[in-house]
Every structure is written in structure tokens, then in C-alpha cells.
């Protein structure tokens, strides 16, 4: 298989890319500014020549369609919409500009990539990386949560409309890696509020994607990797005191 993974030079995207490269698949690593990291990543893969790096600022006009069109001669079999930007903005601060920016990267761009992938490729798999917040209102995460919920709805709608040639699924993890500058210990305190109290790893996400790809009857499914955190409202998590 040939797999395009957006935002895959670092962090979770890089772990997904490495997982599939080590299984012998051709990986297209997309990055924006992290070109050196992408080059180092691909150089560490088995059989580096079969892999490809695509640099693109997807916020630019027509960038998503140009990215997919650049692969027209040898299109990918799989699109993994991983690129995302988390921002914690309360509703009172969700100005039109903040909303526009949050929806651009977390919904509009991945949806446009989905649409172009569908229009250019004859068949394939689309997997969107969502968030455990999609099942409950989360005022504290405002625009980010709204955008991820919209991407969830697009996942389910496309799973109906584009079948049987395309399968569209998603993975919705909870706290995997802390944002830059945030200590892991702080995030792990939030993990302790989940029923199973286990932090999902980037490898868990890669394995979930692999499971989706290898299970041909899966379509329109969202796999939650949250240790049950998605079952709780954000208010309940905030009030939960981790047990010793």
C-alpha cells in the first residue's frame, strides 16, 4: 500500500509513518516547516527510496488539492488526516478569527483533502484522526472541539456517500502526547481521571489504523482510544480526583 499521512514529520504522525514503513508499505510523509525532521525520518526507514516527502503549507489557497494532484500519477491507497492544531479557547474568547483559524486546520483542510482524494483516486481508504472530545460538549476547548465534531460528521457522511469504493473511518484518541512545553506529568494527571487510567500511545493509534485497513467490513466507524475517557463529560473529568 501507499499511505499519505499529513503532519507526519514529528510526534504522532511520525510514529504512524514509521509503523507502516517498517511493515513494508510506501509512505508519503507530509510536512510544512519540519522538512529536516521529515528527511531524517525517511532516511531512518527501511528502503528509503520507496518513500516520499511532500512539503506544503495546507493553509494556503488550493494547497490541499495541489497536494493530492501531485500524486495523481501514482496515487496513494490511503489518506490519513493527522495534521491538527489543538488550542484551548473558552467560548467567551471564540472570536470569528479564532473560529476561522480553528476550523481551517481542524476541519476545512482535512475535508478538502478527503474530497480531492475521493475525486482523484478510484478507490481507497480515508482515516481521520479525531479527539475524544467529540462525544460531549466541551466549552473549555470551544472552537477546536467544534471543528473535530464537524470532521466526525464528515467522516460518517462520506462513509455513506462514497461507499463501496471508499471506506471512511476515524480514530479518536484521548491524551497521547502533551503539547510542546507542557510536562508529561501534567497530562498524566488527566489520564488518571479516565476509567482505565492508561495513556494511549502513538503506537496504539498506528495499530488502530492498521486494524481498520485490514478489516474490509469496517466503514463509518470511530475507534476511541481513550481508556473510556470519551464516556465522561469534561465537567466530570474536571471534578474527578485521581485515586491514589
Of 92-101, 136-145, 192-201, where does the model show the most confidence? 92-101
Confidence of residue 86 (pLDDT cuts 50, 70, 90): confident
Confidence of residue 237 (pLDDT cuts 50, 70, 90): low
* pLDDT at 127 exceeding the cut of 80: yes
Q: What pLDDT does residue 240 have?
A: 52
Q: What pLDDT does residue 239 have?
A: 57
* pLDDT at 38 exceeding the cut of 70: yes
Per-residue pLDDT tens over the stretch 52-84: 999 999 999 999 999 999 999 999 999 999 999
Which residues are within 8 A (CB) of 5 and not within 5 positions of it... i.e. 6 or more apart? 13, 16, 17, 20, 27, 28, 29, 30, 80, 82
Q: What is the rounded average pLDDT of the residues 179-190?
A: 79
Domain 2-239, CATH: 3.40.50.720
Sign of the torsion formed by the C-alpha atoms of 44, 78, 214 and 230: positive
Q: What is the rounded average pLDDT of the residues 30-39?
A: 97
Strands 78-81 and 52-55: unpaired
* Alpha carbon separation from 15 to 4, 153, 204, 207 (Å, rounded): 13, 26, 10, 10
Q: What pLDDT does residue 69 have?
A: 95
Q: What percent of the chain has pLDDT over 70?
A: 96
Q: Which residues pair with 126 in a beta bridge?
A: 79, 168
Confidence of residue 243 (pLDDT cuts 50, 70, 90): very low
Angle, CA of 240, 243 and 244, to the nearest 5°: 150
* pLDDT at 241 exceeding the cut of 80: no
Greater confidence (187 vs 104) lies with 104
Q: What is the rounded average pLDDT of the residues 188-214?
A: 91
Mean pLDDT of the chain: 92
Q: What pLDDT does residue 242 have?
A: 44
For 50, the grid coordinates are 520507496
How far apart (Å, rounded) are the C-alpha atoms in residues 232 and 175? 14
Q: What is the rounded average pLDDT of the residues 11-24?
A: 97
Amino acid at each position: 500500500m501507499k499511505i499519505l499521512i499529513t503532519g507526519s514529520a514529528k510526534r504522532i504522525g511520525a510514529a504512524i509513518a514509521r509503523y507502516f514503513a517498517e511493515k513494508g508499505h510506501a509512505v508519503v510523509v507530509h510536512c510544512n516547516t519540519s522538512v529536516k525532521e521529515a528527511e531524517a525520518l525517511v532516511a531512518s526507514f527501511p528502503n528509503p527510496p520507496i518513500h516520499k516527502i511532500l512539503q506544503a503549507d495546507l493553509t494556503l489557497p488550493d494547497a490541499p488539492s495541489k497536494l493530492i494532484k501531485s500524486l495523481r500519477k501514482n496515487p496513494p491507497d490511503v489518506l490519513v488526516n493527522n495534521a491538527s492544531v489543538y488550542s484551548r479557547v473558552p467560548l467567551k474568547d471564540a472570536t470569528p478569527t479564532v473560529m476561522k483559524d480553528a476550523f481551517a486546520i481542524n476541519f476545512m483542510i482535512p475535508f478538502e483533502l478527503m474530497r480531492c482524494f475521493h475525486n482523484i483516486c478510484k478507490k481507497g481508504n480515508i482515516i481521520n484522526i479525531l479527539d475524544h472530545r467529540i462525544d460531549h460538549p466541551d466549552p473549555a476547548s470551544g472552537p477546536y472541539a467544534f471543528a473535530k465534531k464537524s470532521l466526525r460528521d464528515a467522516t460518517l457522511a462520506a462513509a455513506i456517500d462514497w461507499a463501496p469504493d471508499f471506506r471512511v473511518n476515524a480514530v479518536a484518541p484521548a491524551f497521547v502526547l502533551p503539547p510542546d512545553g507542557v510536562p508529561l506529568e501534567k497530562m498524566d494527571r488527566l489520564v488518571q481521571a479516565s476509567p482505565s487510567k492508561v495513556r494511549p500511545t502513538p503506537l496504539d493509534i498506528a495499530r488502530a489504523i492498521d486494524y481498520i485497513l485490514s478489516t474490509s467490513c469496517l466503514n463509518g466507524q470511530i475507534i476511541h482510544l481513550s481508556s473510556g475517557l470519551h464516556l465522561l463529560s469534561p465537567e466530570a473529568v474536571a471534578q474527578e480526583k485521581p485515586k491514589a
